Amino acid sequence: KGDEYHKFRESAKEHWDSMRSYFQKAATAYSKGELEYAAYLSDQGKIQTKLAREADERASQNIFKARNKGFENVITIDLHGQHVKQAMRL
C-alpha cells in the first residue's frame, strides 16, 4: 500500500468522528434554544466534513498510485483499498 494511505485514512476517521460530535452538540444546543452556539458548532462540523473528505481523497490518490504504478495498460487498474465513492470517480 501507499506510504501515506493509513495516515490519511486515520486522519479522515478522526475528522468524521469530530464532525459527528459537533453536529450532535449543535442539535443539543439548538434544542435548548442556544441558537448562536448551535450555529457555531454546525460550522465546526462543516469544517470537519471538508477536512475528512480531503483526507479521504488524499488516501484514495495515494493507494491508487501505489497499486497501479507498474501497470502500463490503461485499462487495467487495481481498486483494492478504495472506498466505493472514490473508486467510482477514478
pLDDT tens digit sequence for 3-57: 677 888 899 999 999 999 999 999 999 999 999 999 999 999 999 999 999 999 8
CA–CA gap between residue 67 and residue 87 (Å, rounded): 13
The greatest distance separating any two alpha carbons of the chain, rounded to the nearest whole angstrom, comes to 60
Residues 22/42, Cβ–Cβ less than 8 Å = yes
- Residue spans of the domains in the chain: they are 5-89
What Å distances lie between residue 15 and 2, 35, 86, CA to CA?
Answer: 21, 24, 17
Query: In the structure grid, which three cell numbers stand for residue 27, read together?
Result: 442539535
- The pTM of the full predicted model, rounded to 2 decimals, is 0.71
End-to-end CA distance of the chain: 17
